[in-house]
Structure 1
């Protein structure tokens, strides 16, 4: 199975993967934490010291890093389970699974942080990687209707609007373009099923929020996705900024 930690070494032949738990919670902080309430545009921290996620209290002298990291992983896993098993909604406008995911993971509004959002994004990438790469062992039989529909729509939209990237990535599965493609599909699925996570990642209505995962990602892979096309893609997937 392809996993994000080894995507660029195994799937794309490079070692460039962003690792939020190391960058956020260590001395080499690369971007600031974004917190937001449901339905609001995320705003980067303006404090001298970035706001701390509850999962990283050891930055304040607490050494319970492993326990907190495990709890964050458990929450991300519960959210992923909701994504994997949710049935196809009777009304497409009811595809947003945020409330169900929050209940399953025991989350409050303030818990939807960039740390958790990145964990969910990378967990989803691991699930979609083999299917997108069309490995012979890839299996969608365990997917619920909501995920299957969102995945199919994201793939078809990329084929239409980012055809050059799609064709190049499929022809060169061990280059960086393949990682970009996998992240795009995963973001598309999240834009339809868990839009709050996309906002927590820093994908704002007018572009990437400064200091966010979105800003980092666009700087690193911007050459593969034409300016503005990512936001058009997210909007077509059903992403809204209220």
Structure 2
């Protein structure tokens, strides 16, 4: 998932860029279009608001949406914001109450997950195997094991060429090729 889709899900759907003068949306008090500024400036202001936020929920959301409008999300902006959030985490003593609370909850959740994994290794192994089973068809396809045989110019075609036309029955290559042909 690319960064823009992540922010779409986090802050709402993105729409196509429009060239209109800046105006305020009266219902939410959110600027929906504004003059373009550099991604670094927008990210810096975004991080400053997170760092100093004392109120959460609607007020914080409105302030952040006024900085980064729906049409201005870019991968570069997302990278700058991510770097800023990483800096906030490293310099915990400079953050406001809202971000500190969110950070504490995230830390507690991560610690409980790792503790659970330590306490229940068999359960975690079963989950990992389930994930591998789900993604195996995609991995086989990415390696070039297609429904009709090895796909040209892929790892699978290179591997098959090593057999010089004769692929032994029961070989690992034939096993993967069979999976690629029937497993979807």
Normalising by the smaller structure, the TM-score range is 0.3 to 0.5
Q: Which has the higher contact order (CA 8 A, sep 6+)?
A: 1
| Higher normalized strand content (fraction of residues) | 2
Structure ranking higher in helix proportion: 2
> Could you say which structure has the larger radius of gyration?
2
- Relative to the length of structure 2, the TM-score reads 0.41
TM-score by length of 1: 0.33
